[in-house]
Structure 1
Amino acid sequence: MSYEQHYGAYQDADSHGSAIRKTWLYFLYYWVVFGVGTFLGQFVPPALHFPITIALFAIIMISLFVKSSRKFSGLITNVYALAIGVLSYTSFMYYLGVLGTEAFYGNILLAIGAFAAFGILGYFMIDDASGLGKYLFVTLIALVVASFIGIFINNTLFHTVISVVGVGLFLLYTVYDFNRMKLGNFSPREMGFNLFVNLLNIIMHILRLASIIRD
């Protein structure tokens, strides 16, 4: 291999490594925004939760189906992380009360462990998971719609199924996204946000399942 080829390979590896580092910085950034939203959530009146939920549902559907919304992706992801943090404050307080401190944090650690394990699977053990994308997307749309409908349905079995599907879906999305990172098929901001969403949903669905079992 010539010097030029060696140098080109080194530049590619350095560029890839830099993109991955930026991805994790964005990942942490969105958790900070989420944390700010969660802190603010204690001051938001419960009467505003439903309008915020409707707005979030609209944002998600627009970002999934309207291509022109991509030019505002930075704004959309920040608004989403902040708003979902506001809504999550009440959920966290509920789960903490139902499960108790030890079980609450234990389930969060379980979710983080599962996220890490499936990330390792996607990055180191699977050659190409790109074929999963279309199936995951269809399942995601169905889950978003079902979750929205679930706001109006007080049925334990319905919510249990949603949470089981949600855990499975976002674990598979974790495999898919880590595999995309390995293949270099990503932008740091988008991937950082995707990983944030994956972990957050795994945590929330596991907490919901644990609370249903406890009840």
Structure 2
Amino acid sequence: MAARHDYRKVWLYFLYYWVIFGIGTYFGQYLPEAWRPTASAVLFGLMMISLFVRGFNRTGLIISHLYAILIGLVSFGLFESFIADFGSDTFYRIVLLGILVFIFFGCIGYFLLKDITHWGKYLFIALLIVIFASLLNFFINLPYLTLALTIIGLVLYILYTMYDFNRMKNKRFGPREMGFNLFINLLIIIKRLLQLYRYVNNRR
């Protein structure tokens, strides 16, 4: 009974962070273009601190809200430009595809894999590599490296989805932390699919 209650709280937190993200995305339309790099830099700084500063919890009450709002603010530009270039129908189809990918691989992690909680350290190393490669590519801007990082990032967060669902199966989670992690996993999967679609269509 307690486990079922914890699962319910996970999904409530998951939906809650999507609401906070939605509020951030809404206000992103009022964020001046010149301020968006600053918001992105603050978000990146928070992410780096959460990765390397011991005891810094990105899923804490204040920081997780700040994360969700900032991600919404900086995501508005991506969503707006994608809809302008490819239309809202394509945008929503890709969002639906992202949700289906999230559910499919989440079910694999929960129902088909026994215990992959030891994956965490390897996924963390892969995440660090992607982050620093992305930072390097920000300065050198190689198109094929951008494509590779988009695909690798997509695969990485699919693996994180399997890993987090498996953690729920093995009851190694806190409801707030897991709800936030699942929110991030789904969001990044959707954003990577949007970026991949844009890249493929721009190369035609």
- CA distance, structure 2, for counterparts of residue 181 and residue 120 of structure 1: 11
Q: Which residue, out of 21, 24, 30, partners 2:11?
A: 24
- Offset, 1:71: 8.7
2:84 pairs with 75, 97, 101, which one? 97
In structure 2, the gaps of 5 or more residues are none
State the SS of the aligned residue for 1:70.
coil
User: How far does the alpha carbon of each residue in 1:41-69 deviate from its partner, in whole angstroms, 9 at most, with x for none?
Assistant: 00001111111111111100111121221
Alpha-carbon contact 1:99-1:210 (below 8 Å) kept: no
> Counterpart of 2:22 in structure 1: which amino acid?
G
Shift of 1:72: 7.6
Pairwise CA RMSD: 1.4
How far apart, in 2, do the equivalents of 1:146 and 1:81 lie? Answer: 24
CA distance in 1, matches of 2:38, 2:118: 36
Query: How many equivalent pairs are there?
Result: 202
2:21 corresponding residue in structure 1: 34
CA spacing shift, 1:137–1:72, aligned 2, 3 Å: closer
One-letter identity of the residue aligned with 1:193: F
Q: Following TM superposition, where does structure 1 have runs of at least 4 consecutive aligned residues deviating by more than 4 angstroms?
A: none
Q: Mark the CA change 1:41 to 1:151 in structure 2 (over 3 Å): closer, same or farther.
A: farther
User: Does the Cα contact within 8 Å between 1:57 and 1:148 map onto a contact in 2?
Assistant: no
Unmatched tracts of structure 1, length 5 or more: 1-13
Partner of 1:82: 69
- Which residue number in structure 1 is paired with residue 129 of structure 2? 142
Greater C-alpha radius of gyration: 1
Deviation at 1:87, TM superposition (A): 0.5
SS of residue matched to 1:127: coil
Per-residue CA deviations over 1:148-186 (Å, capped at 9, x if unaligned) read 334334332121111100110000000000000011100
- Say whether 1:67 aligns with 2:17: no
CA drift of 1:94 comes to: 1.1
TM-score with structure 2 setting the length: 0.95
User: Could you say what secondary structure the match of 1:69 adopts?
Assistant: coil
> Which residue identity is paired with 1:63?
S
Do residues 161 (structure 1) and 148 (structure 2) align? yes
Residue in 1 that maps onto 2:39: 52
1:85 deviates by: 0.1
- Residue by residue over 1:61-118, the C-alpha shift from the partner in whole angstroms, topping out at 9 and shown as x without a partner, is 1111212213982211110100010000010011112222222111111111000000
Tell me, yes or no, if structure 1 residue 182 matches structure 2 residue 165: no
Q: Is the 8 A contact 1:42 1:89 kept in 2?
A: yes
Q: Which amino acid aligns with 1:15?
A: A
Aligned 8 A contact 2:14 2:180 in 1:
yes
Q: Secondary structure at the match of 1:68?
A: coil
